[in-house]
Structure 1
Amino acid sequence: MAETWNKQLLSSMGRQDVRKDWKKRIMITSRQQNILSQLIQEEDFLQIDLLVDKYELSPRTVRNDLLIIEEWLKQYDAELERDRKLGYRILLDPIQKERIEKSLRRRPDYLDSRTRVHLILKMVLAKTKVRTNDLLQEFQISRNTLLLDLMDVRIWLEEKGLECVRQNGWIHIKGDERLIRKAYLDLLKTEVTDEKVLQFILEREEAPLANQLWNSWFQTEDAHFLLGVVRQLEKELSIEFTDSGFSAFVLHLLMAMERLKNNHFLRMEDFLLKELQASSEFRALEVVIVGQIEEYFGVHIPKEEIAYMTQHLLGTQKKQLISTNGSFYWRLAKEIVNDVEEELGHLLVGSDRIIQNLAIHLESAIHRVKFGLQTKNPLLKELKSEFGSFLDMMQLIVNQVMKPHRLEFGPDEIGYIVLHVGSGMMSQRISRRKRVAIVCSSGVGTSSILRKRMETLFPDCEIAGIYSYQELKEMTKFDIDAVLSMIEIGFKLPVPWIKVSPLLPLADQAHVSNLLGVTSARRHVEAELIQTANHIVKITEQHASIGNRNQLLQDILSFLQGRPGITYEQPLTNLLPLQSISLQLPETNWESAIRYGNRLLRERGLTGPQYEDKMVQMIQSQKHHFIIQDGVAFPHASVVDGVWKTGFSLLTFREPIPFGPGQEPIWLIITLAAIDKTQHVQALSTLLDVFNDDSFMNMLRKTKNAEEVWNFIRLKEQQL
C-alpha cells in the first residue's frame, strides 16, 4: 500500500515538490527500514542479489524499495550511490548518521503484515483486552486489512492452545494463564532470536542500530548488566560458552526476570531439584550472580529458578577439545559411529575425529534432552532434503544407543548429530588456493559439514580455519581472502563475506563461486554420481529383470542429484497439509479471501505474490470459471504467473461472502497452484469425490477442526 502510493507520488511530483513536502507524504516501510539499516551498517557496496535472497523478494521489488529509500534520504542531504558491478552503498558523515539512526529507532510509517501481527499478538497477550478501533488508528489500516491480520492472530493463538475472541469491538484471549505466559515468551523468541542477541552482545559498542532489537521487550541497560554478570560467571567456573550458548543463556535470564517480576514462579520435581543443587554450577550461580541479579531487578529468585538456570548452563557450555577417549560420552559416540558404519557397509572418512567431536557435542545434548530443554534446529528442513532417509536411520541408531540410559532424542537433536556424522560421508579433495575462513556460532558440527562441502565442491580453496564470531574481529586480509558465515556479521570486515547454509545448496554454491571467483567442481561430482548410478543398475540386474535400463539409469541419477526424474501424481493429503486449511473465517471481501488463500501457499514456498495478483485480475475481468458449484470457488492461474511447486489451500467462511463482480455467495474456496499438468490429477479426483459426499460437505461447512477435515480426506484416499 505504502509502496504503491510512493511510486505514484514520485511519478506525479517534481523532485523539489517532493523534498518540500516530504514529511507529510513519503512513508518508509518496515522492510525498507531494515534494508536501509543494513546499508548503513555495511559502509560499503551491497549487491542487490544479497538483498533479494535475504528478504525473499524479486529484484524489481528491491529496486523499487531502493528508489524510495533514495528519495527518503534526501531530507537528510544523504545520497544512495550506485555501481553496476558493485551494487549500492550509503556514505554518511557523523551528523547524518546520528540523525538517521535516531529516526530508524522509531517505528516506521508503514508496517508489513508480519510485523503488525506480531505487535497485535504482543498487545493482546500483555493486556486484558484491546479495542479494534485502537488497532485501526495505531496502524492506519483498513478494516479488511485488520481482518486479515486477525486471521493470522487467531491461527497463531490456536496453535498455542488459546482462543482469540472478538466481541463488541474488543479483542481478548481466552485460555489457561500458563499457556498465555508461554505464548508470550514464544512470541518474544521469534522476534528476539539468539542470533540477534549474539549480534547485540558483540556489537553493542560499534553498532548503535542494534538497540532496535529490544524495542519494548527489554531495557537495553538490563541486557548490559546481565552480559557482565554472565562474563563473571564464566571466569568463576573457568568455562567458555559457545557464541549461541552465551546469547541463549542471556535471553533465558531476561525472560526469567519477566516471569519473576510478574510473580510467575516455576515448579520442579524434588528429585531433579536435588540433583541440580548438588552440581558445582548451581552453587556458582547461587554464590556469584543470584544476589547481584536480585538486587538489580528487585526480585526474589527461588531455588527452582536457579535450578532452571543450571540446566541452561549445563546445556550451553563450550566443551574443550581435549582427549575424551574412554569417557562415558566418548563410548556413546563410538557406539553410534560403529553402528552407522555397519549400517552403511563402509567406514566414515575421519571417524576418529567424528567420534571426538560427537562426544563433545553429546555432553551438552544429553543435558538438554534430560532436562527437557527444547532446541530448534534451523537446518532441519535442509538436512531432510540433503540426507533424506538417512535422518530416520540415524534416529533409530541414536535412540537404540540411548535406550539403556532412558533418553530419547527428537528430530532436531538428531539433525545436529547428522551434521557430525555427515561430515564423514563426503569425499575429500586436496588442491587448495583461496584462503577461506568459516564462522560458526553453534559448535563443531555445522562447521565440519560446511568444511567438507567446500572441500568437495571447491577443491581449489583452502579452509584457513573455523572461527567464532568474536575471533573473526582479529582477522586481517593477510590471514584470509574471504569469509563464509552461518550468522549475520554486523561489523566491517577487511575481506568480502557472505552468509551461507552449511549444506551449501545450489543458490549458495553460486554465491560462493561469485565471491571467490572460482568454478564449482559440480561437474566432477556429477561424474561420480553417474558412476554410482551405473553401479546401482548393475547390482539390480543381478537380482531382477529391467524393462527399460536407460530410463532406470536416468531416474536413479535424478534421485542422486536431488531433482525429480519422474513426475509422480500426489495424493490430496500431501498437497493439502493441515497448515493450509483455515476454517470458519470471519466475513471479509472476495479479494482479501483470494489473497489469504494464496498467503497459505506462499508460506509453504509454493507461489509468489504475483500469483494472487493474477487471480484477482482474472476475477475482476470475469475471465474465469472459478465457481465450480453453488457456494464453492476454485481459483487458480497459470504456472507462468508465479508458481514454484504444486499444492492446495482450503478456506471456509462462517457466512457466504459475495464473490467477484457477480456477487455470487461463496462459503468454500480451494486455491490450486500447479507446476505441471500431472502432479495434482490424483488429488483433483479425490477432491471431486469428497465434494459429492453430502456428509463431508455438511461437516466441512460447520467444523472448526482442520484435523477432522484432513483425516476424512485421508480415509477417502485409502478407500479409492
Structure 2
Amino acid sequence: MTRDRQDRILAHLARASGTVTASELADTLGVTPRSVRTYLSRLRSRPGAQDLVVSGPTGYRLDEEAYARFRSLETRATIDTPRERSTRIIRELLAAPNGLDVFDLAERMHVSESTVEADLAKLRPIVAELDLRIARNGSVVTLSGSERDRRRLISRLFRDETTQGRIDLDAVERAFASESLSAFKTALLRELEARQYYVNDYGTDNVLLHIAIAVDRIAHDNRVPDDERPSRSEGFHGEEFPALLDALVTEHFGVSLGQGDAEYLGYLLSTRAVAPTTSTAAGDNDRRRYLADDDLERVRRITQRAGAEYAVDLSDEDFITRLALHVHNLLERASDRSFSRNPLTRSIKTSYPMIYELAVFIARELRDLSGVEIDDDEIAYIAMHVGAHLQQEARREDLEPVVLVCPNYYDLHSVLAARILASVGDLVRIDRVETRSDVPWSSLGVDLVLSTIEPPVPSDPVVVVGPFFGEADGERVRRAVARLRRGRRRSAIAAELLEYFSPALFVRNRYTGDEESMIRHLGELMIADGAIDEEYLDGVIERERMSSTAFTDSLAVPHAMAMSAERTAIAIAVNEHSIPWGDARVNVVALIAFSADGRARFQPVFDQIVEVFSVREDVQRIIRRSEDFPSFIEELVHTMDS
C-alpha cells in the first residue's frame, strides 16, 4: 500500500503543471499531510529517487530529468514488483493443472511463504469476479475455470496495477519473455491501415496483451476450445482478422493459433481496437454492412436528446455513424464482460467536465435502452467521440469566412478554390465565389475578400491573389487573417478596459508627496465620478496602513478590503519619475474600487494588468508613450495583446 501511494503521488505530480501542496496531495490520497511527508521520505529511499521530488515553500514538484532517469531505472529493474510477482503466481497456477505447492513456489520466487500467502489473498477476490476460483488443499493451491476466463485474469492483473492506466508493452514483454511484441504491433498497424480501419491505440495495446497471453498459453498446450469461441452478432466486422492474426503470430512468434484462438483474438481486435471507416458520402449501403438501421436510429435519438439537453449540435450523420459503431463495439464488450480501460479518463473528467457530463447523459440513455451498466472508462471513450466532434465544429466556426472573386473562365474558380483550401484551409473557409468582374465590392458581407482582380479602390479587406495561388499568395492571406484577428482581439480588449478606465480617472505626472496623498487625490476623482464614497476611500487608506500595496517594482494597487464600491473601476496615475511607496518605488498607481457584483468579471482583467506592469520594459514603454488617456489605452491594449 505504501509503495502504491508513492506511485500515486508521482503520478499526480507528473500531471501537475506547477508545484503541489502537501494538503492537495493528502486530499488526493485521502490521508493527512503528515502521511504524505512520510510517503515522500520513503520514496526517496528507492533507487534513483533521491532527487526526484523537489520541495519548496509553495509545495512539491517533480524534477523532470530525474523523473525520466527514475522511470528508466524502474523499467530496467530486475527486482520483482508486486504486479510481476502476482502475474508470475497466476502464470504458474495456469501452467499447473494439478496445482502448486505453496512452499516450493515461495522458494522459487525467493520470497517468504507469508508473502505468497498475502499475494494469494489479494488474488482471490479478483479471480472470483471472472468466474475463476483459487482453491487450497493442504499446501497445494489450484486455479479452476474456463480458458477464456483464465486469460482475462492475466489481462486484469496488468490493467489494474498500472499507475498510468496504459498497458506497458515493455512489462508484457518481460513477463512473457517475448521481444517481438513491438515489431508485431508495427506489422499489425500497417495491415489495419492498409484495410482502412480506424485504430484505437489504447485498445490495440490491450489486444496485444491478449496475444502475448495466447502465445504463452499455446506454448503450454492450452488453447481456446470450440465451445468457448465467441458468437458473431449482427454488424460484426473484421471477418479477415482471424486469418490475419494467425499469419502475423506465426511470422513473429513461431506459433500457430488454431481456429478457436484466432477467432477469439479476432473478436477482441474487432470490438476493442478498430472500427471500419464509413461515412454518409459512401452511402447507406456502406453503413448497413456494419450497422443495423435500428442501432443507427437508436444512437441518433440519443444524440438528439443529448444535443437538446446541452444546447450543442450533435446532428452530423458522420459523427452519429462513428458513435454508433463505437456503441456497437461497447455493447459487444459488455456482453463479453470486458470493458476497455481508458488512460485518459481522469484528465477528461477534470479538464473537460461538461463534455464528460454530456457523455454521462449518453451513457445513461444507452443503459436505459440496453440494460448494460457502462463504467467510467467507457464513458470517457464516448466523451472522446463527442469532444472530437465538438472541437471539429468549433474549428469550423473559428475559420475566417471569405468571398472569392474569380471571373469565370472554364472551371478556373473551382481549381483556385481547391488550391486555396489546400494551402490555407486551416485559417479560412470560402463562403461564396463571385465569378463576375462587376463585383459589388462594398456589399460582399465579409471582412476578408480574396480576389484575382484589383478592386477599383485599394481596400484592406481585399487581398489580391494569383489565379494559380502560389506560396507567396498563401503567405499574404495568412498575414491578412492575422491582422484581421489581431484588430478584433485588440478591439475586444479595449472595450473591456474601457469598462473600468475612463478619461476622468486618468492622471499623468502627478507627484503628491506620499502614499496617502496620492490615494486621496485619486479617490476624490472616483468620488466625483460616482464610483465610491468617502467611507470606501477611508477603507483604502486603512488597508494601505496595514501593508504596502506595491505589487511589482513599478506598480502600486491601493484598494479597500470591502467590496462596497458603487461600481468596479480604476483610477490611475502614470508618472515618468518613480515615487516612494512603502519600501519600493513605483511609476504607476492604480486605485481599484471593487463592487460586489463586478469582482468576478474584473479579476481576469486585473490579473492581466498586473502581469503587464511586472515587466520593466513594458512599463517603461507604456509610461513613455502614454501622453494622454487614448494613447494610454492604446499602448496598454498593444502590450496585453503582444
Q: TM-score range by the shorter chain?
A: 0.3 to 0.5
TM-score, with structure 1 as normaliser: 0.41
TM-score of the superposed pair, with normalisation by structure 2: 0.45
Tell me which of the two structures has the higher relative contact order, counting C-alpha pairs closer than 8 angstroms and 6 or more residues apart.
1
